[in-house]
Amino acid sequence: MAQFITAQEAADLINDQATLGASGMGQTQWAEELCWALGKRYEETGRPKNITFTHGGMLGDFNGRSITYLGKEGLVKRWMGALLGVAFDLLKLLQENKLEAYCLPLGVINQLWCEIAAKRPGVITKVGLGTFVDPRIEGGKMNDVTTEDIVKLIELEGEEYLFYKSYPLDFAFIRGTTADEDGNISMSKESMKLDGLHLAQATRNSGGKVIVQVEWVAKSGTLHPKQVEIPGILVDYVVVATRQEACWQTDGVYFNPAFNGDIKIPVKRIPELPLTERKVITRRAAMELKPGVIINLGTGMPMDIPNIANEENVSEILKMTTESGSCGGLPMPLPFFGSVYNAEALIESKAQFDFYDGGGIDIGFLGLAQTDEEGNINVNKFGNRVMGIGGFINISQNAKKVVYCGTFTHGAELKIEDGKVIIVKEGKHKKFLKKVEQICYSGKYAQQVKQQVLFITERGVLTLAEGQMTLSEIAPGIDLEKDLLSMM
């Protein structure tokens, strides 16, 4: 039976050199109070030292609630995750070579926890081939002090795969909504199912301890069994949060019943987007949609596509999904990314990635940060700034068709007038480069698997035709030489 303890008592359990895993995406399922207590303990005592911290999605928000609490020199020796994002103090240590850092695909991390739980050797997959995760390129290493190879290239039945090795977990930080007195955990208020169950199983079967932060406690036997997402047999300790800010449903709201499926909202109440370059790009992207297609929407500009579909009265004939595990409904942008209005189903993110990796997405709409003449894309590393990769590699590599959406240059001042795009002031940074800083998507791999690729900007549309970046459309008001070719 699980023990009920305080967050500080939970933090005191973590020992030097431990491997700690955490679940969550943004504020959803993110055990804010546990992480805060661990950072506080280190500040006061200097313990624990040199832990390995691993997670999948971005944890926390831009308002100080995040894993940045762990960004204290000597606390974390190794970071291994899919998104660093808002963990500014951890990022600073990464940049200063004061911790080892591996960035791995979100889907692989979710799948790896299942392999650890079953005591299998690891994940064998094509996800990451030809990208910075490939050991022939960077092996997922993010700085100079990161030297150990944790990703291997193998051959199986005459084909190349990547092998991501399993590792034991000593502790898990997970958040639920309610625990009963036996430690059974419901997530009724959460807007996503995510990966808490698999992390708990992996930690328990590694001989580690599972610690779950909740908001409420229920009497034994009163939770409906179908509401229990993590059974009490997997839970060692329960911490009841003492601060409401540690229990927000998403980055942007403490609780919205439309996000966890308690109510359905009238979508016509969602305001239309203003006519800007973002709308020009996402309207053109939405022209790729067809009835019944299964799509994924990445963070950033692609998250405006649901608004366009809603404005055009076609949202109900599309099947929009996110890596958080949502199916159907209207996916929301930051600060609600991963949460969905009127979802038809919410499944575990590992199950969603299994579907994605097998080619289940008809069209993936993703952001465009940098691209080059070979069609490679970088969305992760810019100088020594590491953002993280999330589910980008899983989605971009395996969708039948991928559409990259973004402005042509960074920081340009634009306006839309008389049906034309007018460049008031050119951007300071080019996005179409000779060579990207890091390969997060391989144009060569896309050609090998005969994937359809579009790059949609406010100035024109390009395709990857026979390995060549090829202009196929130009926007009204744009000068081919001055506004396009000279800026590539």
Instruction: List, by residue number, the catalytic residues.
Output: 323
Cα three-residue angle 347-209-111, rounded to 5 degrees: 35
Beta carbons of 249 and 187 less than 8 angstroms apart = no
Task: Give the integer Cα–Cα distance in Å for 74 and 63.
Answer: 24
The per-residue b/e assignment along 430-441, b for 16 or more CB within 10 angstroms, e otherwise, is ebbeeebbbbbb
C-alpha to C-alpha distances, 154 to 124, 131, 483, nearest whole angstrom: 9, 15, 45
* Prior bond of 225 cis (ω within 30°): no
Task: Give the integer Cα–Cα distance in Å for 162 and 126.
Answer: 6
Structure tokens at 136: 């022939």
Cα three-residue angle 386-388-389, rounded to 5 degrees: 135
Task: Give the integer Cα–Cα distance in Å for 28 and 340.
Answer: 12
Beta carbons of 67 and 90 less than 8 angstroms apart = yes
Q: Which helix (H) or strand (E) holds 124?
A: strand 122-125
